[in-house]
């Protein structure tokens, strides 16, 4: 399966406009943003867990990164409420589920294969600081290394955002809205721009809050293994 699989091209998905697709696990559905592969895949998805749904224990051979959008995600490592940002590095193991139900933004098989650093950050508790050289933007870093930077950003109403991200960028709108390339983005809309492509966006009249990942598209991702 391939969904927005050409990483040299701009890609955009408005979650409100696409249907939920059932996973092999009862009660777990997803909206696919990009994907290369079948059930083991390099993928970016919005995943919804119905109450009391759960996966069997499994290992993430290529790593897993997620942000809890609503509800409470759970595994044997703890409870992760809305706003939790988690990185489970390659070869980590867990049994994910949710007693009450939840929705997450999740990325699979997009880590440095040598990464072994687990991360758990309460993004809602982080103070947002003014971003240098970007008027109208405040931001908090969720994760950063030589390969990528992951941030939470708040754009002021009407703020004009212009940059040329080296290594590409992904924007996931959490609240509010913005426009880019003649297209309007609202809640749970996703935009991916390739390495070297300019970002020229304008925040909507209410501003917007975004999850931002930058730099990672300049690196070759690990290939998912069959099985």
**pLDDT single digits (tens) 24-40:** 999 999 999 999 988 88
Which pLDDT belongs to residue 102? Answer: 98
Contact 20/38 with Cβ under 8 angstroms? no
**Equal CATH topology for 2-10+18-122 and 123-218:** yes
* 104 φ/ψ angles, rounded to the nearest 5 degrees: -135, 150
Which range (116-120, 135-139, 216-220) has the least confidence? 216-220
Give 72-99 pLDDT, tens digit per residue.
999 998 999 999 999 999 999 999 999 9
Q: Which sign does the torsion angle of CA 4, 5, 11, 13 carry?
A: positive
Contact 165/216 with Cβ under 8 angstroms? no
Q: Please tell me the CATH superfamily of domain 2-10+18-122, with its number.
A: Jelly Rolls (2.60.120.10)
Domain ranges of the chain: 2-10+18-122, 123-218
Which pLDDT belongs to residue 224? Answer: 65
Q: Please tell me the CATH superfamily of domain 123-218, with its number.
A: Jelly Rolls (2.60.120.10)
Mean pLDDT of 162-188: 96
Q: How far apart are CA 32 and CA 115, in angstroms?
A: 25
Residue 186 has pLDDT above 60, yes or no: yes
């Amino acid at each position: 399966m391939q969904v927005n699989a050409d990483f040299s091209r701009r890609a955009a998905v408005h979650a409100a406009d696409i249907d939920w697709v059932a996973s092999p696990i009862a009660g777990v559905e997803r909206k696919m943003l990009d994907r290369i592969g079948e059930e083991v895949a390099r993928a970016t998805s919005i995943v919804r867990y119905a109450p009391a749904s759960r996966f069997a224990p499994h290992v993430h051979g290529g790593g897993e990164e997620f942000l809890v959008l609503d509800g409470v995600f759970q595994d044997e490592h703890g409870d992760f409420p809305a706003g939790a940002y988690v990185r489970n590095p390659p070869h980590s193991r867990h049994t994910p589920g949710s007693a009450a139900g939840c929705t997450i933004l999740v990325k699979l098989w997009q880590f440095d294969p040598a990464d072994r650093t687990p991360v758990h950050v309460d993004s809602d508790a982080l103070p947002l600081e003014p971003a240098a050289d970007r008027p109208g933007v405040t931001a908090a870093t969720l994760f950063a290394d030589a390969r990528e930077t992951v941030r939470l950003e708040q754009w002021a109403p009407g703020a004009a955002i212009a940059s040329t991200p080296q290594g590409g960028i992904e924007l996931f709108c959490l609240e509010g809205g913005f426009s880019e390339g003649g297209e309007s983005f609202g809640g749970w809309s996703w935009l991916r721009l390739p390495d070297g492509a300019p970002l020229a966006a304008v925040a909507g009249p209410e501003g917007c809050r975004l999850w931002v990942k930058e730099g990672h598209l300049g690196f070759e991702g690990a290939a998912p293994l069959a099985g």
